[in-house]
Amino acid sequence: MRRAVSPEEKDARRSDILNAAKRVFARKGYQSTTIADIAKAAKLSYGSIYWYFDSKEVLFHALMENEEQALRDHVTKALTEHGDLAEITPLKAAVKATFEFFEADRAVVKLLFRDSYALGDRFEKHLFHIYEGFINDIEAMVVAGQKDGKVIDAPPRVVAFCVVSLVGQLAHRRLITDDGLSADVVADFVVAFVLNGILPR
């Protein structure tokens, strides 16, 4: 009765800004993007951005968190739909889901694999943290696979990191050149590569 804007509306506006920011950052890069750019994209005055975010950097971190969560949700959904956790397939499913996510939204790829570096040291904390989350998940799968003898005996964390890296790097590369390959083919390839390497059986 007092509030001019409901909390939902406020959240929605925050989301609007984040989405606008994602687009602009993806196009111009973190450094070249001004608060005014974001405001214009969000159809707000630049002063208003500060009503929702304390600073450009805070906004960017919020964006990273947002996208991390979205990716996480996407992967989780893919995994629960798949189910047969006893198999090596969860790994497959996770890799494919991640790849799909990145394919579906190229902006987030630029955000994570290009712009976040522009934050300098501050990015390391955050991006590293995001990586760790995914590495943890994959690591658990690797350890499980090793227990069943279905995965080689190698440092599981490093294995997990390689998997995560490969997906990210391939997604990033595809922004620049796609080597003429569909996302599907590449996703399958990543999985095969990770599982079998390049030597023929």
Determine the residue type at 82.
H
Among all chains, which residue has been given the structure tokens 């001004």? Answer: 34
Q: How many CB atoms lie within 10 A of CB 195?
A: 14
Cβ-contact 95, 194 below 8 angstroms: yes
Cβ-contact 17, 49 below 8 angstroms: yes
Cβ-contact 49, 35 below 8 angstroms: yes
The residues in 31-50 that bind its own copies, with binding defined as CB under 8 A, are 31-32
Q: At what angle do helices 7-28 and 56-82 cross, to 10 degrees?
A: 100
Q: Is 162 in the site for its own copies (CB under 8 A)?
A: yes
Of the two residues 62 and 195, which places its CB atom closer to its own copies in the complex? 195
Per-residue mark of binding to its own copies, 71-110 (x: CB under 8 A): -----------------x----------------------
Q: Which does 151 bind (CB under 5 to 8 A by kind): DNA, its own copies, none?
A: its own copies
Of the two residues 34 and 196, which places its CB atom closer to DNA in the complex? 34
Judged by the rule CB under 7 A, the positions of this chain that interact with DNA are 1-5, 9-10, 13, 32-36, 44-48, 50-52, 54-57
Residue range at the interface with its own copies (CB under 8 A); choices 30-38, 50-58, 63-71, 79-87 = 30-38
Q: How far apart are CA 93 and CA 35, in angstroms?
A: 38
Q: Which does 186 bind (CB under 5 to 8 A by kind): DNA, its own copies, none?
A: its own copies
Q: How far apart are CA 181 and CA 170, in angstroms?
A: 11
Cβ-contact 131, 158 below 8 angstroms: no
Alpha helix segments (H runs only) across 105-155: 106-113, 121-147
Per-residue mark of binding to its own copies, 120-149 (x: CB under 8 A): xx--x---x-------------x--x---x
Given the rule CB under 8 A, which residues bind its own copies?
28-32, 88, 113-115, 117-118, 120-121, 124, 128, 142, 145, 149-155, 157-159, 161-162, 165-166, 169-170, 173, 176-177, 179, 181, 185-186, 189-190, 192-201
